[in-house]
Structure formats: C-alpha cells, structure tokens
Amino acid sequence: MDELITLSNANLGRLPRDVRVPKYDRNVLTPGIVHIGLGNFHRGHQAWYLHRLFDEGLSQDWAIVGAGVRVNDEVQRKKLAAQDFLTTLIELDPAGTSAEVIGSMIDYVPVEDGNGPLIEKMADPSIRIVALTVTEGGYYIDPVGGGFDDEHPDIRHDVANPEAPRTAFGAMVSALKIRRDAGTGPFSGQSCDNLQGNGDILRQTVVSLARLTDPDLADWIDKNCSFPNSMVDCIVPATGPNELKLVESLGIRDQAPVTHENYRQWVIEDDFCAGRPDWERVGAIITDDVHVYEAMKIRILNAGHQVIANAGEILSVKTISDCMAHPQIGAMFKKVQMEEIAPHVDPVPGMTPSEYVELIERRFSNPSIVDTTRRVAFDGSSRHTGFVLPVLRDGIRRGSSVEGLALVEALWARMCEGTREDGSIIEPNDPFWPALTEAAGAAKDRPHAWLEQRQIYGDLINVLAFTEAFDRWLSMIWADGTCATIDEFLEG
C-alpha cells in the first residue's frame, strides 16, 4: 500500500480521487450550532446533512462547534483537532463501499470541570442552536412517572453549583442566564436522541433544572426558547480496530472514522426561535407532526433492536446481521413485529407499518454493517422502558396478544443474569447492572422477582396476561434453553 495520507485541510486535495471531499471553502464557515455529544451517530447523521448543505453553497453561517461534558470527550476532542475536525464517513452497502470526508464541524470546545468554556461558547450570540446526542438515558427522567428526576446526584450538584455545573443541561441554563442578562436572546435546544417527544423532554429537563435555582429564568426560558421535536434514523456502529483498518485500506489515516449504513432519515418540527439551516434542501423532512414518524421508528426499529439483541447476547451471536440470519432469532423478530408491534403503529406518508417492518428487516440484515449485539443491548433499563413497554401497554389496553413481548422481557431478564448459554460472562452493560443482575438472579427460581422492579414495570406486575406469559417464558428459558423456548413461541 502507498503511504497513508493523514486527514487534514492541507491534504484534502491529496486524498484518493474516489473519496468525496468538501466542495466548499471551510475557511469561510462561521459557527451557528453547538453540538454536545460528538459521537459517531452525530457525525454520521446530523453533521452530514449540514455538510451537504455547505456543498450547495447554503447556510454556511451554521457550522458546528463540538462539545462534551465527560472525561472521554476530551480524548475525542484531541483526536478531531489533530485532523482539523474532519471526519471520514464510510458507507457500508452490500453493493459496495464508498467514502466521503465531511467538514461541517470547525471547532470543539475544551472539556473542563465546571464547563466554563462550554458555557462561554453557548452564550456567544452567534450560537442559535444547541443540539445534543447524550443517549436516551441522559435526560434525568424519573423512569416511573416520566417527570424530572431532581434527586439525581448530578442534578443536586448543579443546583448547588449553578455557575460550575456538571451536566450539559446545567451548562445550558447557565449560558441562557448570561444571554438573558445581556439581552442577546435565546437559542433553540434540539435533542437528537431516540426519545419520543425528545424536544418536549429536553424542555422539561432544562426548565425544571432552571426552576430549582432561578424561577424567573425558568419562566424566561420556557417562554422564549424553543425545543423542536425530531426523529433521527441511521445505523452507525461504534469505531474499533476493524473500522480503523477499513479507513486505512482507503489510503487515509483518520483517528476517528465513522461507518454507517446506506440509509438516513431526519424528521424535524419547524420550531426554531433563532432560525435554522435549510435542512430540507438536502433531504430532511420538515413537518408539524413529528410524532407519527418517530412512533413508527421507535416502535419498529428501536424496539426491534431489543427484540433480537438480548437473545443474541445469550446465544453468543456477535452482530445484529448475524442475529437476523439466526433461524430462531430472525423468525422471532418477524413474528413479534408483524403480530404485536406493527398493529399499534400508524402509517406515515408513503410508508405503511408492514412496509417499514420489511425495510428494517433489510437494514438489520445488512452484513456490511458490523453493529455489535452488545452495543444494541446496552442500557436496556432505558431502552426497554422507552421502546418496548409502551407497545406492550398498548397491546394490553387493546386486548391483543403480548406473548411475544413478554418473551422479549424474559430474554432481557435472562441476559441480565450475566452469563451466556455457553458459560461465558456478559460484562456489565447497563448503568444499573448490579441491581439488574441481582433481580435476574432471584428470578431464576422465582420469575416474578424480575417484575418487582417497580421503577421499570410499575403496575404491569398486576396484569395477568403479561405476568403469566413472562413467568412461563422465563422458566422455560432456564429449563430448556433459549432456542427451544423461541421455537415454542413460533409454533404457538
């Protein structure tokens, strides 16, 4: 192989000719967005849309300034700074691999205790949108009532230290106080996480936190800031040794490449108090009804991930595409989707629920996407409560069968016991792993012990149609094994 070309502004013209590079002059870009949580998903999704807008000569005063609030974010900042904040995106399509370099991020705020540099940047009047990808479990939501969890230690810290907060939301409140006092106006808060009503949830978190220290500021934020709901969709695996080798095979030295599937969707509520880029010019859907789109995606794609990932972990199936190829797991996915999930989903323009199931089945089955079962199974305490249980509750209300969804919950309980059927150990994979493994261990002999986790299941423990099915499936999994249990479900 020829010598690798290090990714940088100076080297863009030296990259292989089949690698798409920015058509715009990055030196003329000016910032308009701070994005907190510069993981692979953001760079493969939202940053790509903005990059393509810049290629059209549009919205070039909306460049991204990256930010983070965790120690690991500083490591990422240094990697990206060393390559002028450029990222190589590699599209993994069974028909062939393609690559492009995106340049929509132009800076990354230093990550420091107290988040002073982040607050200063968000207080800058040029910043008109503060966007976030901080995971579904990162919004300090009470898992039972759905309200704001004001007892969390991070929140108590921010209440005691409003000028040196620990959380992204505390930093947003501090920056908005500066903007209000200076008369520079509000910004829009844009959640890009997989939460139904993510903008409403972000509003709840920011306004509730502000109210604990400054009720007048909370009122000002609630009245003047906007928090548009959105739905984001693109499968973006984590970067590891294989992805680093893949980008090197293209002749590029990139410390933080991103691989992604050949599909993207972004549906955005048009509610921005300080303006926004023209995302619709490059394929985003701007609508007043995000809910119908996000309900389809969260229930079929996100819940669908949980349908297969826990079984895959138990059976030592390494990737999502391998799960789909597994005779029992793949068949369970289709049956649960068509019989117990899709019936509770409304169509969207141009797509019925059954058509969307088939689309997701093709996407999950893409062998070029090495999306690990472990990654998809991560944080089940947020993903089951956010994605699976709402569908299960709908099925109960409508008198529909919930046998398959009860099996999905039983498989999660079995996975959280911490061992696979081949005897290997499942490493901690949830913020509440110790409590989950304790409940799963007790449920091995007494299945009901798992459902007694009120913070997850609430009053579902009183619904016999669910609890009897769950108890039966979990007992069968431990007695006969996962494959035999799924076969019993499929035959039933």
Q: For 291-491, CATH number?
A: 1.10.1040.10
Per-residue pLDDT tens over the stretch 47-85: 999 999 999 999 999 999 999 998 889 999 999 999 999
Separation of alpha carbons 299 and 302, rounded Å: 6
Which residues, listed in sequence order, are joined to residue 131 by a DSSP beta bridge?
35, 190
Among 136-150, 276-290, 337-351, 357-371, which stretch is predicted with the lowest mean pLDDT? 136-150
pLDDT, residue 145, reads: 75
Strands 87-93 and 63-67: unpaired
At the fourth CATH level, the homologous superfamily of domain 5-288 is: NAD(P)-binding Rossmann-like Domain (3.40.50.720)
Nearest Cα residue to 142 out of 438, 416, 385: 385
Ranges in the chain annotated CATH 3.40.50.720 = 5-288
Which whole-number Å values give the CA distances from 261 to 50, 119, 265, 365, 407, in the listed order?
A: 18, 34, 11, 11, 29
Per-residue pLDDT tens over the stretch 159-210: 999 999 999 999 999 999 999 999 999 999 999 998 889 999 999 999 999 9
| Mean pLDDT value of segment 420-443 | 97
Sign of CA dihedral 340, 231, 54, 254: negative
Task: List the 31-36 sheet strands across, edge first.
Answer: 105-108, 63-67, 31-36, 129-132, 188-191
**Band of the pLDDT at 158, cuts 50, 70, 90?**
very high
pLDDT, residue 279, reads: 98
Place of tokens 């620990």: 166
Ranges in the chain annotated CATH 1.10.1040.10 = 291-491
Average per-residue pLDDT in the chain?
95
Separation of alpha carbons 157 and 209, rounded Å: 11
Whether residue 2 is predicted with pLDDT greater than 70 in this model: the reply is: no
Chain centroid to CA 390 = 18
Neighbours of 109 (CB within 10 A): 23
Q: What angle do CA 166, 239, 16 make, to 5 degrees?
A: 125
Separation of alpha carbons 42 and 40, rounded Å: 6
Per-residue pLDDT tens over the stretch 343-367: 999 999 999 999 999 999 999 999 9
Helix (H, G, I), strand (E, B) or coil at 446: coil
| Mean pLDDT value of segment 218-246 | 95
| Mean pLDDT value of segment 402-429 | 98
pLDDT, residue 146, reads: 81
Whether residue 1 is predicted with pLDDT greater than 60 in this model: the reply is: no
Show the tokens assigned to 268: 């955005």
Rg (CA), the chain: 23
Exposed e or buried b per residue across 263-299, where buried means at least 16 C-beta atoms within 10 angstroms of its C-beta: ebebbbbeebbbebbebbebebbebeebbbbbbbbbb
**Band of the pLDDT at 96, cuts 50, 70, 90?**
confident
Whether residue 86 is predicted with pLDDT greater than 80 in this model: the reply is: yes
Whether residue 93 is predicted with pLDDT greater than 90 in this model: the reply is: no
What residues contact residue 224 under an 8 Å CB cut-off, 6+ apart? 185, 186, 273
Per-residue pLDDT tens over the stretch 236-280: 988 999 999 999 999 999 999 999 999 999 999 999 999 999 999
Which residues, listed in sequence order, are joined to residue 191 by a DSSP beta bridge?
132
pLDDT, residue 469, reads: 98
